[in-house]
Amino acid sequence: MSDRLRILAIEPYYGLSHRMFLEGYQRYSRHEVEIWDLPARKWKWRMRGSAFHFAERARGAPTPPNLVFASDFLNLSDWRALCPPAFREVPHVLYFHENQVAYPLADAAPVDYHYGWINLSSALGAERVLFNSSYQRELFLQEVDRVLQRMPDHVPPELVSRLRSKSGVFPVGIDFEPHERLRAERARWSNPEPRILWNHRWEHDKDPDRFVDALLHLERRHAPFRVVICGESFGRMHPAFERALREIEGRVAHIGFLPSADAYREMAAGCDVVVSTARHEFFGVSVVEAVYLGCLPVLPAALSYPEIIPPHLHPLFLYRDDPPFEEFLEHFLLDPPLAYASEVQAAMERYHWRTLAPALDEHLEQVAARAEPVV
């Protein structure tokens, strides 16, 4: 398809990585990308009710798009039932940043299948479904199969195989232009003590307790280090970080969310190692950004991380349980694999929107033309 498409991107939860994703694609795409969004708050109500808002907005829109590109926070089935026919009939692509079918619950949290069911019905109602990693795609399909077994009867046959046949993987694009000055100016491993970055949400699935346990191990071993703890905290101090402030306050160079993107990039660029202790991760935008800025990664050999790090570098940067994580980190700080620093940093360049936008453009062109995309 040679003409520019009019792409309507619908994002009910327009914050942080979701916002960065769409703004980057809008900037680098050769197509006309219009974003309809709602603020990133009250995620459960966004999944339940945002389709009503966007359907009403569509009634006042002068021209329908050629394609709708929606995120997993939209109840796409409700949207298509309620929006005007001219919007309903264009192809729809659903993009999963995360999904509620396979999202881990906090300890003792009650199981609620409702939001996962919204994701499932949305996927069934789309012409094409994209996941940000192979890990998420396979876990989603596996969990859908498991959840469908809870239905007492009349489960449609081949439902999971139909979903698989219309799904693919497309990684998160990042606009690295604001990072490039900092990257060029960075001096590797120049801090008097290695500076460790932990830049994840302060929630149970990122396992901050395990991270703080490792810091306390380093302290007992008299290992040199300083730590920068940021990431979204939702207005509260996690108990693990309260413990860190009590027991190793002198090691903490910074703690707290940095609402300014520029301030965050400056802080990350001043660190040497980015660490994840996640028990759940569908992609890892914060890790990709930090590695692009020059941090060496220390990541689990699981989840989506093996897709981010080139396979031949896995033994250097991905840890398992033997040796234990805290010992892996201690050895890493004492003998960092600096000879591979440029290689692992360069590997992140494939996530630049300059590279990915043309590929997503082509993919959406094929969907809009009702062709079968190849991903």
CATH number at residue 31: 3.40.50.2000
Which residue shows structure tokens 């698989």?
Answer: 164
Q: How far apart are CA 59 and CA 85, in angstroms?
A: 10
Q: How far apart are CA 328 and CA 308, in angstroms?
A: 19
362/292 same-domain check: no
Taking Cα atoms as reference points, which of 250, 253, 229, 226 lies closest to residue 241? 229
| The pair of three-digit structure tokens given for residue 149, joined into one six-digit string | 């077994």
190/164 same-domain check: no
236/316 same-domain check: yes
- For 147, counting Cβ atoms within 10 Å of its Cβ (0-12 exposed, 13-18 middle, 19+ buried), the class is middle
Q: Could you list the beta-strand ranges (E) of 6-158.
A: 6-14, 32-39, 67-71, 92-96, 128-131
| The pair of three-digit structure tokens given for residue 335, joined into one six-digit string | 């003998």
Burial 62-90 (b: 16+ CB within 10 A, else e): eebbbbbbbbbbbbbbbbbebbeeebbeb
Is residue 86 in some structural domain?
yes
Identify the pLDDT of residue 108: 56
Is residue 200 in some structural domain?
yes
346/362 same-domain check: no
Identify the pLDDT of residue 236: 77
Domain count, the chain: 2
- Under a CB-based contact definition with an 8 Å cutoff, are residues 241 and 212 in contact? yes
Taking Cα atoms as reference points, which of 98, 157, 104 lies closest to residue 122? 98
Specify the 3-state DSSP secondary structure of 167. strand
Cα of 327 vs its chain's centroid, Å = 28
Tell me which residue range forms the domain holding 12: 6-175+352-368
156/230 same-domain check: no
Is residue 374 in some structural domain?
no
CA 108, 113, 114, 118 dihedral sign is: positive
118/32 same-domain check: yes
How many CB atoms sit inside 10 A of residue 242's CB?
12
Amino acid letter, residue 215? L
Identify the pLDDT of residue 1: 44
21/83 same-domain check: yes
Residues of the chain where predicted confidence (pLDDT) is lower than 70: 1-2, 105-111, 371-375
209/70 same-domain check: no
Is residue 225 in some structural domain?
yes
Q: What is the DSSP string of 186-234?
A: --TT-SSS-EEEEES-SSGGG-HHHHHHHHHHHHHTT---EEEEES--T
Is residue 360 in some structural domain?
yes
Identify the pLDDT of residue 262: 94
Is residue 1 in some structural domain?
no
- Between strands 296-300 and 273-275, the pairing is parallel
Identify the pLDDT of residue 107: 59
Identify the pLDDT of residue 105: 63
208/102 same-domain check: no
279/185 same-domain check: yes
Is residue 373 in some structural domain?
no
Is residue 196 in some structural domain?
yes
- Under a CB-based contact definition with an 8 Å cutoff, are residues 94 and 68 in contact? no
313/195 same-domain check: yes
171/50 same-domain check: yes
